Amino acid sequence: MILNQSMVAADAFEKHLINRKRKKNWAVKAAGFTLMLTSMVDMFSMLVVFLLQTFSSSPEILVTKGVELPNSITPSQVKEAPVIALSRDGNLYLDQKLVGETKVVSKKPDMLLKKLNIIKKEWASSHTTPFTGEINLQADKEIKSTTVALVMGILTSSQFQSIELAVVGQR
């Protein structure tokens, strides 16, 4: 089969129409892949603000290892304060740091009182309001109430009058 010269070679007008159709199709394809960045940035900004407000509204405290908190049907909101913990194995912790054995600390509370005074001094240097005397007490549910009362007595003698007992709320 022999091709005619006029069939193979297109004239200038036909080339113009072909190029115009190609450009038109390319513009349609390109429009489908564009992203509306302004709307997406606005959406992510609102998401970040929402997450920050949600997670910063209620402070959470870490439960010290070896402490199983008692259950309660009337839990209250956690306040941000230092945490003192009485573990099942007889150790006493202040803000996740071991102070000593509960029996030894209850007989000679000098080390605990010294660390509590440091907390009060840090409060005074970092806050404009006077010291509130708040502290969270985590006591294992197996600890005797007399031991908890003894530690609470040491805390009140060191101007920590607002003692919150940490419990697990039942749902």
pLDDT in tens, 85-133: 888 888 888 888 888 888 888 888 888 888 888 888 888 888 788 778 8
| Model pLDDT, residue 45 | 92
Q: CB of 91 within 8 A of CB of 106?
A: no
Positions of the chain with pLDDT under 50: 1
Question: What is the Cα–Cα distance from 168 to 171, expressed in whole angstroms?
Answer: 10
| Residue whose entry in the numeric block shows the structure tokens 């390319």 | 26
Where in the chain are the domains?
10-56, 71-169
Question: What is the Cα–Cα distance from 138 to 155, expressed in whole angstroms?
Answer: 13
Question: What is the Cα–Cα distance from 56 to 66, expressed in whole angstroms?
Answer: 27
| CA angle 87–90–91, rounded 5-degree value | 70
142 CB contacts (<8 Å, ≥6 apart)?
A: 68, 88
Q: Which helix (H) or strand (E) holds 146?
A: helix 145-157
| Model pLDDT, residue 60 | 64
